[in-house]
Amino acid sequence: MPSMFSTALPSTQLPSLLLLISANSHLLTDLGSSTPDTPLWKFHHSHFTPNSFYSIFKTNPTHCSDLRLIWKLKAPPRMIVFAWQMLQGRIPTQDVLQKRGWHLANRCPLCASALETVLHISQDCPFFISVCQQVYQLANVANPARATTASLLQSLVPDRKQRELLLITCFTVWRERCSRIFSSASRNASAIAEDSLFEWGVLNARSLINF
């Protein structure tokens, strides 16, 4: 069937076209094949089966992590949006700002001992770790110390209270970080932990009212 859109090739471009085809002939050897294109499933001998999908989910859940699960958490919209941006590396940490052309000294304003990245401020920062430990202890909830922030927020496996507390703590720590930069005001980890627990208490109170 002829194409609906066509154009004549100027004679001056013909040598360049022939040279391009000659240089890439190894890529064109199968173009005349009558074999139809078929989709490939890279995890199980090139073709998909329900059992192969289930086995991947069971042995390695990270293949099935889903950012949409963030929106199912019971938390204020501002915290949900923050978590969504954080997991995609879109919050304006100093390393992100440097990539956008900002000239500044990259140093975590919370611990002053490492470069500020999304991973650092939401998982590895000593200040963040201290706040999390106090929050989980005061709330009498098991501390998922071996799990990463991203895996907890994107998985259905962890306890609901763990996920809610982690989301709220990430948000309150980020708020403290911004306060130190823009207002030159700082508070200790205990005060931020209390803020997190207050936000969590408000969240649970609203859930009871709406029940």
**What kind and span of H or E run contains 83?**
helix 77-87
Position 2 in a domain: no
Amino acid found at 6: S
Domain with 125, as residue range(s), is 67-210
Most confident stretch, 88-92, 137-141, 183-187, 188-192: 188-192
3-state secondary structure string, 177-200?
HHHHHHCCCCCCHHHHHHHHHHHH
Residue 170 confidence (pLDDT) = 92
Residue 143 confidence (pLDDT) = 77
Position 105 in a domain: yes
Residue 211 confidence (pLDDT) = 47
Position 17 in a domain: no
Position 13 in a domain: no
In the structure, what pLDDT confidence band is assigned to residue 4 with cuts at 50, 70 and 90?
very low
Position 18 in a domain: no
pLDDT tens, residue by residue, 107-134: 999 999 899 999 899 889 999 999 999 9
Residue 117 confidence (pLDDT) = 92
Residues contacting residue 146 through CB under 8 Å, at least 6 positions apart:
none
Most confident stretch, 39-48, 137-146, 163-172: 163-172
Lowest-pLDDT choice from 79-83, 84-88, 203-207: 203-207
Cα(208)–Cα(80) distance, integer angstroms: 20
What 95-103 contacts at long range (C-beta under 8 Å, 24+ apart), as own/partner pairs, is none
Lowest-pLDDT choice from 80-94, 155-169, 184-198: 155-169
Position 158 in a domain: yes
Residue 61 confidence (pLDDT) = 43
Number of domains in the chain: 1
Q: Tokens in use for 50? A: 């329900």
Residue 89 confidence (pLDDT) = 85
Position 107 in a domain: yes
Mean pLDDT, the chain, integer:
75
Lowest-pLDDT choice from 65-69, 168-172, 190-194: 65-69
Question: Do the beta carbons of residue 54 and residue 60 sit within 8 Å?
Answer: no
Q: Which of 124, 102, 123 is nearest to 113 (CA)?
A: 124
Residue 189 confidence (pLDDT) = 96
pLDDT tens, residue by residue, 20-78: 555 555 544 455 556 666 666 655 555 666 666 556 545 544 444 556 777 777 788 88
Q: Is pTM, for the whole model, over 0.75?
A: no
Position 29 in a domain: no
